[in-house]
Chain A
Amino acid sequence: MKILDKVEETSAYLNGEQGQMLPDSLREAERALTQLASVFFPADADIEQLAAGFIDNWKVKPTVEAEWPDVVSRYRILVEQIPAVVFMAFLDQGISEAYVSPQIEAMLGFTQSEWLNDPVRWFQQIHPDDKSRWSVEAARTFLSGEPLRSVYRVLARDGHVVWFHCEVRMVRHPDGRPWFIHGVGFDITELKQAEAALKQAHDGLDLRVRERTRELGTANAELQQQIAVRQRAEAALLKAQAELERRVSERTMELARANEYLLTEVGERRRAEDALRKSEDMLRGIFEHAPDTIVVIDRQGYIERVNAQVERMFGYRSEEILGRQVEELLPELFIRRLKKQRAERVDYSSLRPMGAGLELHGRHKGGGEFPVEVMLSPIAVASGSLVIAIIRDITRRKQSDAALRESADRLKTLSRRLIEVQEAERRSLALELHDEIGQILTGLKLTLEMSARLPAQESQASILKAQVLVNDLMARARKLSLNLRPATLDHLGLLSALLGHIKQYSAQTQVHVLFKHSGLEGQRFPTEIETAAYRIVQEALTNVARHAETDEATVRVWADRHNLSIQIEDGGKGFDTATALAADNTSGLAGMRERAHLLGGNFIIESNPSGGTRLTAEFTVSDNLDGS
């Protein structure tokens, strides 16, 4: 911008007043000269006439001096007044016939006569640089007859240069021959000088302008160049930038793609890792938290890996047992291995379990042994074959097996005893039927037969006797029935049955029974519980009568919504509980306990040889509520 402004400014200056002034004044001067010339040289047509007259007049001058003072003086005055040199020269006569106006002296320092007397003076005085042009232009005028109008430098006497504007015309003879020339020379030195000054100024200005323009051009060019460079640079930059952008976006896309791929891959890998970890975790969890001790051994029987259970089961910390022989845990394996292999180099991988598992003994770090079940399974891995030994502590199983066996034994004993009791009952029933009822029936039969044979009045006594026998028979049958199972237990319930039994028991044994109860009235319980309760009371009271050597006993029965409890207590001779239970004698303690247990009840025996026995049985009669 600044540069453009400068150019603008310069151009305005150049087209300004100073620039305009000079050519205009120049043109004005030229115009003035032309006008002047036309004064002296009227229209061409007149000139020849004028010239002829003028020459004629001129020719006669010396002779007829008196006739033309007017004309001569008039023209002479005119010619010699004008600020120019007027000259005339005949082309077909010598230079002596020429004329030059006296102004020549003022202009060039040469007198009129000096000028006219030396025919080549004027040519000599023409500035050397303009001589050839003068010759050419003069020759053209002489040959063609065209007017000459030109500017020449002439050297004055003192040598300074005077600029002349010359207007020369050639006049021909009527026959066409060149006759003379006449002309006028204006001193235009000042004009020329002014022109030169102007020109110089103009040139200087022009130079300056050109310089300035050049400078500006240069500057401009430089600027343009710089701009171009900068534009190129910018273009290059833009291009580079675009390229960069493109690359960046490409790269970004590539990265995004790569990222996406990576993410996918990472996701997959993570999922895979997760799955693997989960699977590993699960396997480790299974391995570590398995209830059994798991031991991984190599072919030589060295422990390679073991789970945490080894500490609980064997007392070794896992790092303690790693690398040791499996026989430290399972000593019997050695014998088994020897038996099986009978080879020096043993291979544990061939130790296959027979059936489900080996029942061996584990050896605790502390030295104790305990029963275990060992499952051996060989597995093939990259590094060879290994054996996994799963060791289960079967102490508890053995114990429960034992308990089960014991329970089974007890049940066997009980059922044997039940059968025995049943047989005893049958035997006593058979005995009763045969020995008592059978005998009475026989007696009755005989009595009735006898009475039938007797006369009527005597038979009366026999029938009375028979009646007594029948009543006895009924009483026995009732007692028999009652002993087998009281009807009250089925029809009226536990309370009635116990009341009946206690009454009968007291009557028979003379043992006074204090019967206390609560929650029984109007209550019925499951038949098997009522039966068990009744039988336990019956059996316990029988024991009191047989063994306690006392005449007093207490029976307590209490019930609520959930439980039925019975208790039989006496203050008589007691016994050692364990001995009594083990003896399994006629006391029937074991039987009572079995009855209670079979129904899910408790049976508590409290006794002391020094005195007192208390038996308590508790039954759950309803399990639909919390109960405790």
Chain B
Amino acid sequence: MDAKITNIVLADDHRIVRQGLRALLTAESDFEVIGEADDGREALEVVHRLNPDVLVLDLMMPGLNGLEVARQLHKQMPKVGIVVLSMYDDEGFVLEALANGVSAYVLKDSNSSDLVLAVREVAAGRRYLSPPLSDRAIETYLQTAKVGTMDKHETLTTREREVLQLSAEGHTNSEIAARLGISPRTAETHRSRFMHKLALHTQADLIRYALRRGIIPMENIGK
């Protein structure tokens, strides 16, 4: 075990956690904890001053939170490996952390050996995620998060759909109101709502939309 010493800085707003972490990490012969920080700002300052190999960073800290510290540090000192320690197994956080230049995401309730492993991996220039998290889970999450295409038509209320169809068929607000047993004013409100939702502006837009959706049949046109 005469390998190179890995210099570590700890950043956590709880002293007791830092003490535990220091005990855990210094138990490893090739690890050395060279500095500690109480909050995000101090973490930046200490890392700048000491230029460690690895920063073990609590995600939730007062003032400047871990995600922001990671983002700034990654820009300014990209060689410092960042290991995030978090209570949250939420993929959102994991993704955000990774996006901000974090190399390892370790859950606080995972085994202590997990953290040691993460530090080693990061020091070696690799990425690490705690066991409950996996690249696969992240992948799925990313896909879910990116389901950006939504059919706006689904967002229409039943009433709005009824008004849309009658309007596309060429009925006036008064006729629609009479047909649906509502006031013309209400009919107009429904109409402007769905027009807005569907980003339609003119009656021509509306008819084009209704045709494309098959809400009104082609042969109705021109009658």
Would you call B158 and A606 a contact (CB within 8 A)? yes
Q: Does A517 contact B (CB under 8 A)?
A: yes
Q: Mark A606-628, 1 if CB is under 8 A from B, else 0.
A: 10000000101000000000001
Q: Does B28 contact A (CB under 8 A)?
A: no
Distance (Å) between the CB of A610 and the closest chain B CB? 13
Would you call A499 and B92 a contact (CB within 8 A)? yes
Most chain A Cβ neighbours within 10 Å, of B88, B90, B108, B109: B90
Would you call B147 and A516 a contact (CB within 8 A)? yes
Would you call B154 and A604 a contact (CB within 8 A)? no
Inter-chain contact total with CB atoms closer than 8 Å: 84
Distance (Å) between the CB of B55 and the closest chain A CB? 19
Q: Mark B137-175, 1 if CB is under 8 A from A, else 0.
A: 000010011111111101101110000000000000000
Would you call B152 and A500 a contact (CB within 8 A)? no
Give Cα A500 to B94, complex, Å: 12
* Residue on A nearest B158 in the bound complex, by CB: A606
Distance (Å) between the CB of B176 and the closest chain A CB? 18
Q: Does B96 contact A (CB under 8 A)?
A: yes
Q: Does B32 contact A (CB under 8 A)?
A: no
Give Cα A495 to B145, complex, Å: 8
Q: Does A586 contact B (CB under 8 A)?
A: no
Distance (Å) between the CB of A341 and the closest chain B CB? 49
Would you call A500 and B146 a contact (CB within 8 A)? no
Contacting residues of chain B (85-110) with chain A, CB-CB under 8 angstroms: 87-93, 96, 108-109
Contacting residues of chain A (494-541) with chain B, CB-CB under 8 angstroms: 495-497, 499-500, 503, 515-519, 521
Contacting residues of chain B (54-82) with chain A, CB-CB under 8 angstroms: 60, 65, 67
Would you call A628 and B92 a contact (CB within 8 A)? no
Q: Does B6 contact A (CB under 8 A)?
A: no
* Residues of chain A with a CB closer than 8 A to B67's CB: 491
Q: Does B196 contact A (CB under 8 A)?
A: yes
Would you call A515 and B144 a contact (CB within 8 A)? yes
Q: Does A75 contact B (CB under 8 A)?
A: no
Would you call B93 and A516 a contact (CB within 8 A)? no
Q: Does B7 contact A (CB under 8 A)?
A: no
* Residue on B nearest A472 in the bound complex, by CB: B109
Segment touching B, from A187-195, A452-460, A473-481: A473-481
Q: Does B192 contact A (CB under 8 A)?
A: yes
Known A517-B148, A518-B150; contact A496-B108, beta-carbon cutoff 8 A = no
Q: Does A558 contact B (CB under 8 A)?
A: yes
Give Cα A477 to B107, complex, Å: 13
B96: contacting residue among A475, A496, A497, A565, CB under 8 A: A496
* Residues of chain B with a CB closer than 8 A to A475's CB: 109
Contacting residues of chain B (17-66) with chain A, CB-CB under 8 angstroms: 60, 65
Would you call B157 and A496 a contact (CB within 8 A)? no
Would you call A471 and B109 a contact (CB within 8 A)? yes
Distance (Å) between the CB of B153 and the closest chain A CB? 11
* Residue on A nearest B152 in the bound complex, by CB: A558
* Residues of chain A with a CB closer than 8 A to B150's CB: 516-518, 556, 558
* Residues of chain B with a CB closer than 8 A to A606's CB: 157-159
* Residues of chain B with a CB closer than 8 A to A377's CB: none
* Residues of chain A with a CB closer than 8 A to B109's CB: 471, 474-475, 478
Give Cα A488 to B60, complex, Å: 11
Interface residues, chain A, CB within 8 Å of chain B? 471, 474-475, 477-478, 481-482, 486-488, 491-492, 495-497, 499-500, 503, 515-519, 521, 554, 556, 558, 565, 567, 569, 604, 606, 614, 616, 628
Interface residues, chain B, CB within 8 Å of chain A? 60, 65, 67, 87-93, 96, 108-109, 141, 144-152, 154-155, 157-159, 192, 196-197
Could you list 19 further interchain pairs (A-B, Cβ under 8 angstroms) beyond the known A495-B145, A616-B157?
A: A478-B89, A478-B109, A487-B60, A491-B93, A491-B96, A492-B96, A495-B92, A496-B93, A497-B92, A499-B141, A518-B149, A518-B150, A521-B146, A556-B155, A558-B155, A567-B154, A604-B157, A606-B157, A614-B157
User: What are 14 residue pairs bridging A and B, where the CB atoms are less than 8 Å apart in the complex?
Assistant: A477-B87, A481-B87, A491-B93, A496-B145, A499-B145, A503-B91, A516-B147, A516-B151, A517-B148, A518-B150, A556-B150, A565-B155, A614-B158, A628-B192
